[in-house]
Structure 1
Amino acid sequence: MTKLKRPISFDEQIKKLEGRGLIIEDEERAKFILSNLNYYRFTAYLLPFKLDDDNYAKGTSFKKIYNIYMFDKSLRLLLMDIVGTVEISFRTYIAYTLAMKYGAYGYTDKRNFINEDYHNKFLLNLELEKQRNSSKLFIMHHNEIYEGRLPIWVATEIMPFGMLSKLYSNLLPGEKTFIKNNFCKVNVGLVNSWLQSLTHLRNECAHYGRVYNSLFPVVKIMKKHREYDFDNRKVFIHIVVIKYLVADQKNWNDFFIS
């Protein structure tokens, strides 16, 4: 087993970066940033500038890399907001569709979904979410008044985005078509794939992961976009996807000009 690297002090971190050719304009400022940012997180933004000999490309500066980090931080916050808009819309679409077709509690019936095993796992996970959210007033209310039975429009409010995307994928074709015809005018096969892709992006953003120059699971591209040289593992294609899933054009415009 390879021995782990020994921890190094902030002063040693500065010297290591300088030794690899990074220009550090203000050492005290750089030390302060590293003491609040984490050397490992900071150096992830240096990867595109790293040469084969482990040194950094000529002219690479600490200030430049920190500016990229701050840009990534701003982008991450913007993406969290706009993906949240998509997520809330799909909570509404799914809840409304199932409620209108099967009633408040019809979502618990396996016959109303494609895959019985997925549905059973969904119900088990929903129980876990009810336990995790047991201190919320609306869950306490339904526990006291309705013996813990949640109507679909309440249940969707405690589902993580990943769970919601799996619920959508398990809807019967008629329900997916209803959503397409009435709410989201996107091919249901694309929506299946895109919600899963946005779940990965959302989780990365929520855990303060790096979005800039990161690779994500492959995103399915619309036929009309295949002529463009999109990298279907980068964040830009996720932004393209979001454009088609945002219902309110004003929300998209606000995101786009931010």
Structure 2
Amino acid sequence: MDQLIQLKTRGLIIQDDNRVISYLRSVGYYRLTGYMFHLQTNDGNHTFQENTSFDDVILHYKFDNKLRILLLSYLDRIEVALRARLIDNYSINLGFFWYVDSNYYENKNIHDIITSEVISRFNDPQERFLRAYKSKYTSETYPPANMGMEILSFGKLSKMFEGLINDSTKLEIAKSLTLPNAAILASWLNHLTNVRNACAHHSRIWNRKFSAERPVIPSRKDYKFNGDIPENFNTTLYGVISIIIRLLSVINPNNSFEAKVLSLFQEYPQINFRKMGFPNGWEKNPAWKPWTNKL
């Protein structure tokens, strides 16, 4: 197999050819190369660093896979909490069909995107609750907010929150999640949407740089993260994990996300966590420390 020969030519230590071929067929050469770059020299020929073996590649692949699954499971909780807050906080003040009124949106384009999505799903309902509502209320064009929000993805919900006018209800949601204003929360939600999409599409995540839609990091004393925050905090997994822990500290104070992250790190001590944005000494003084202690 040409790919196997190429890996050997580049200096990768391979003890079992059949094992490598099996991974190449089941995972794919292109996907696996994403876990090789940091193990190679900068000579322009993709030569592997001395004593690098195929086991090193697979170790990072397996770590990344477990990390993606862990992130997805807890990002789902943030998505559900955002949906509940949008439904409850706005519906109480504005009624069950508030989300289709363009007057409540600062960004009318986002209003059009949201309503078009809901209309499309409502006209050809696949969900049982939509079919039941539509058969009973035949004159309605839209479902009420508690149903309409359920058919929107995390990305659409995040964009909806960003596009709403900056009123007391929007600020109330941000404050309930330990943030000083809605703009910061909107940036966090858009950022986490990108993380969630990368995880859902099985993209390499562990040392990824998230350069699009960077989250705003609060600087005011009562809202800032703990310790000295690295310059790349809002583009790396260190920032992502810190943001998730902070949101979960309010949404689900007894969650086990932090413990599971630390357990995963202990399972893979060979991982260079600095490539994930973690600074020296983070174990004793993590960015999220005040939030796990205070809330």
**TM > 0.5 fold call:** yes
1:115 and 2:107 matched = yes
Q: C-alpha distance in 1, partners of 2:261/2:22?
A: 33
- CA shift at 1:149, angstroms? 2.7
Instruction: Figure out how many residues of one structure are paired with residues of the other and give that number.
Output: 246
Indicate whether 1:219 and 2:215 are aligned: yes
Q: Superposition RMSD on alpha carbons, in Å?
A: 1.9
Check if 1:87 corresponds to 2:74.
no
Matched residues in 1 for 2:6 and 2:261: separation? 39
Shift of 1:230: 4.8
The Cα of 1:212 is off from its aligned counterpart by 1.5
Asked whether 1:189 is paired with 2:190, we answer no
Could you state the TM-score of these two structures normalised by the residue count of structure 1?
Answer: 0.89
Match of 2:230 in 1: 229
Q: Distance in 1 between matches of 2:57 and 2:162?
A: 40
Other-structure match for 1:21: 11
* Equivalent position SS for 2:254: helix
1:34-53 correspondence to structure 2 within 5 Å: 34-51=24-41, 52=43, 53=45
Partner of residue 31, structure 1 = 21
Are 2:119 and 2:142, in contact at CA under 8 Å, matched by a contact in 1?
no
Stretches of structure 2 lacking an aligned partner (at least 5 in a row):
264-295
Greater CA drift, 171-180 or 38-47: 171-180
Is 142-151 or 218-227 further displaced after alignment? 218-227
Alignment-derived partner of residue 8 in structure 1: none
Q: What secondary structure does 1:250 align onto?
A: coil
SS at match of 1:213: coil
Q: Post-superposition shift, 1:157?
A: 0.8
Please, which of 78, 91, 97 is the counterpart of residue 99 of structure 1? 91
Residue 171 of structure 1: how far off its partner (Å): 2.3
On the 8 A contact 2:188/2:216 being kept in 1, the answer is: yes
How far the C-alpha of 1:113 sits from its partner, in A, is: 2.2
Instruction: Give CA-to-partner distance per residue, 1:30-75, whole Å, 9 cap, x none.
Output: 1111110000000111011222232111111101110110000000
The structure that is helix-richer by fraction is: 1
Map 1:150-169; keep pairs closer than 5 Å. 150-169=143-162
Deviations 1:201-235 (A, max 9, x none): 00000111110211112332232348322522112
Match of 1:7 in 2: none
- Are the structure 2 counterparts of residues 250 and 257 from structure 1 closer, same or farther at C-alpha, using a change threshold of 3 Å? farther
Report the residue type matching 1:220 in the other structure.
Answer: V
- Contact 2:198–2:204, Cα closer than 8 Å, also in 1: yes
> Quick one: which amino acid aligns to residue 33 of structure 2?
T
User: Partner amino acid for 1:22?
Assistant: L
**Separation (CA, whole Å) in 1 of partners of 2:8 and 2:93:** 64
Between the aligned partners of 2:96 and 2:199, the Cα distance in structure 1 is 33
Query: What secondary structure, in the 3-state scheme, does the structure 2 residue paired with 1:237 have?
Result: helix
- Sequence identity (%): 27
8 Å CA contact retained: 1:142, 1:149 = no
